[in-house]
């Protein structure tokens, strides 16, 4: 039987992530510039789950489980005109709102006694993006 070293009096955390991407079109309503015109991006996304304990196999969350849930939610916005998507008919489909949408739709799927969704990173290019941490509890 395998024994694990415990870290008495210390809180341990593991940030487990997957990277993915999706393509879509959008325009930002009332934006004073080119982004008000319809255009597209190949957004890059990083989903991070924070685990405070490991399971009997030594994992915080199985990558297979994490990738499955992320794919389910990403598929709802992949290759869409985001302005026509129900979630963005009122909200501008900015990277910030896209990150919030992904977080809100993944939070329950990635909630367990050992782990929970920690952050969603959305990048329009390799050089610009943001990290969304969701509502503070």
| Distance from the first to the final alpha carbon of the chain | 37
* Residue 41 falls in the annotated catalytic set: no
113 a catalytic residue: no
Options 21, 79, 84, 96, the catalytic residue: 79
> 3-state DSSP call for residue 11?
coil
Catalytic residue among 27, 35, 80, 85: 35
Cα 2 to Cα 5, 25, 32, 45, 70: the distances in Å are 10, 50, 61, 36, 31
Active site residue 80: no
Q: Is 60:16 a contact under the CB 8 Å cutoff?
A: yes
What CA–CA distance (Å, rounded) separates 45 from 121? 5
Q: Which residues contact 2 (CB under 8 A, 6 or more apart)?
A: 58
| Catalytic option among 27, 80, 85, 124 | 124
- Cβ proximity of 73 and 105 under 8 Å: yes
Active site residues: 35, 79, 124
């Amino acid at each position: 039987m395998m024994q694990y070293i415990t870290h008495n009096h210390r809180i341990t955390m593991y940030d487990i992530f997957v990277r993915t991407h999706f393509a879509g079109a959008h325009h930002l309503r009332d934006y004073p510039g080119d982004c008000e015109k319809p255009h597209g991006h190949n957004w890059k996304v990083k989903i991070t789950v924070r685990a405070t304990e490991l399971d009997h196999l030594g994992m915080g969350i199985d990558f297979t489980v994490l990738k499955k849930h992320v794919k389910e939610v990403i598929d709802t916005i992949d290759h869409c005109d985001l302005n026509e998507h129900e979630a963005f008919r009122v909200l501008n489909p900015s990277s910030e709102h896209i990150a919030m949408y992904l977080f809100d739709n993944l939070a329950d799927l990635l909630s367990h006694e050992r782990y929970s969704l920690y952050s969603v990173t959305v990048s329009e290019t390799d050089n610009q993006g943001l990290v969304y941490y969701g509502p503070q509890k």
